[in-house]
Amino acid sequence: MTSNVANDPTYHPLLRNLQFSPIKQGEDQLVVLWDPSGLSKEKLVLPLNFFFIVQHFDGEHSLPEIGALYLKRFGEFLLPNKVEQLVADLDQKLFLENGRTESARQHAQLAYRQQAARRPMFAGRSYEADGSKLKKQIDGFFTSSEGPDFKPSDNRGKPIKGLVVPTYELKQAGPIYAWGYKELQESQQPDVYVLIGTAHAGLERLFAVTDKDFESPFGVVPVESSILDHLRAGVPEYFEEDLAHESEHAIEFQLPFLQTILEKPFTIVPILVSFSALSLNDQTVRASVDRFLSGLRDAIARSGKTVCLIAAGELAHLGMRYGDSAPPTDFSFHRSMQKDLEMLKYVEDLKPEEFTQYVQKEQDQRRISGFSSIYSVLRVIQAEKGQVLRYDRGIADQYNSTVTYASLSFF
């Protein structure tokens, strides 16, 4: 094998960080792939034997090696033209890491940076696009049977320091968001909201900051330039992946709540984050996280602004959609709920390292996707105590795949 062949991405294909979900069509079990970063708008539906093939597109396995594994697994030869067609299809959909995808990424980033503001990508899909209808929708989350009751908060009138809120689909989780935002509505409100949301597509640099104002059906939410200027001066490298904001919903889903309940003008600092509890054992990861969070604390202090830190993220992910071999049972869900609430005790007590150790001890088997946003807020926030307000779950597919989430407040 020549070195040119060894380095050829068509010979050692590398699949991008895609999401997948099992689906059923009649008696057939299939898997659908899509790009959570939004660079590609395509989807690809594969039978299980082809899904086995793409799972080995890791940049390490060659096509002949994958063919040998296929023969061992299924007892039949993998025809080369079938694999070539699959590689070509993935390439056409920008599902592979290669020069074509990198070029598309650079063009997308340039286009994003030329926009006047970050557009509301999920309006009309995940929530109402019309302002008056959206107002009714948001109000309905507060008054629904699952929403917060009308009893005044015990923290009414106190300066709020932070929230943890979901990033799950508003149509399912809206009332749980409302529990957190009711606490904010009744508190002494700050000038700036530092929104730290989960980057579901992942990030190379772990954090991504954007200086774009955010549009919503209620109007434009401006960014807080004083904090962003200090951040850019101190940790400029974390602005390089700003394109991640374009298709990520974590921050966008918070804006209709903020715009509905806040009575005075406000600004935001939009930050996306993606690292796991286990990755903090890597000293390079730990150093990068420490560097950014130190820079954020310093930027907030230098600005002289009062801030509320909001962690937007989910908790456990259970079921086949997330890599488990079988759907969750009632028993496994209730066991996970018990673990979630044990874990959240460390969040309530503002203990980021104990929170980390709890997830590490489990080997992150329940896939706590909001870990990095919650951890980051705990490292920066200056509060006395947190409180779990409400906990719930969403069902993500026909296989009962389950996502858990909660709202917490900090004063």
Q: How many CA atoms lie within 13 A of 244 on its CB side?
A: 26
In the block, tokens 């068509």 appear at 10
Co-location of 192 and 289 in the same domain: yes
Co-location of 127 and 98 in the same domain: no
Domain annotation covers residue 111: no
**pLDDT at residue 10 in the model:** 78
Q: Side chain identity at 65, as an amino acid letter?
A: E
Domain of 67 in residue numbering reads as 3-105
Please tell me the distance from the alpha carbon of residue 339 to that of residue 362, in angstroms, as a whole number: 10
Domain annotation covers residue 20: yes
Co-location of 244 and 141 in the same domain: yes
How many separate domains does the chain show?
2
Read off the pLDDT band of 334 (50, 70, 90).
very high
Closest CA to 238 of 272, 280, 269: 272
What's 160's domain CATH number? 3.40.830.10
Task: Report pTM.
Answer: 0.91
pLDDT, one tens digit per residue, over 66-99 is 999 999 999 999 988 899 999 999 999 999 999 9
Is the pLDDT assigned to residue 195 strictly greater than 90? Answer: yes
pLDDT, one tens digit per residue, over 315-328 is 999 999 998 999 99
Which of 75, 105, 135 is where one domain is finished? 105
**pLDDT at residue 102 in the model:** 95
Could you tell me how far CA 67 lies from the centroid of its own chain? 35
β-pair type (213-216, 117-118): parallel
Domain annotation covers residue 247: yes
Domain annotation covers residue 114: no
Handedness of CA 139, 141, 143, 148 (dihedral sign): negative
Which of 105, 134, 152 is where one domain is finished? 105
Co-location of 98 and 163 in the same domain: no
Please tell me the distance from the alpha carbon of residue 344 to that of residue 223, in angstroms, as a whole number: 30
pLDDT > 90: percent of the chain: 91
**pLDDT at residue 7 in the model:** 62
Domain annotation covers residue 85: yes
Co-location of 310 and 163 in the same domain: yes
Domain annotation covers residue 113: no
Is the pLDDT assigned to residue 2 strictly greater than 50? Answer: no
Co-location of 101 and 196 in the same domain: no
Rg of the chain over all Cα atoms, to the nearest angstrom: 22
Co-location of 269 and 325 in the same domain: yes
**pLDDT at residue 80 in the model:** 87
Domain annotation covers residue 73: yes
**pLDDT at residue 1 in the model:** 40
**pLDDT at residue 257 in the model:** 98
Over residues 179-202, mean pLDDT = 97
**pLDDT at residue 150 in the model:** 82
Over residues 111-137, mean pLDDT = 97
Co-location of 198 and 98 in the same domain: no
Is the pLDDT assigned to residue 170 strictly greater than 80? Answer: yes
Which of 105, 136, 161 is where one domain is finished? 105
Task: Kindly report the average pLDDT of the chain as a whole number.
Answer: 95
Co-location of 187 and 324 in the same domain: yes
Co-location of 127 and 234 in the same domain: yes
pLDDT, one tens digit per residue, over 146-164 is 999 888 999 999 999 999 9
Is the pLDDT assigned to residue 3 strictly greater than 50? Answer: no
Co-location of 100 and 227 in the same domain: no
Please tell me the distance from the alpha carbon of residue 137 to that of residue 122, in angstroms, as a whole number: 15
Co-location of 125 and 100 in the same domain: no
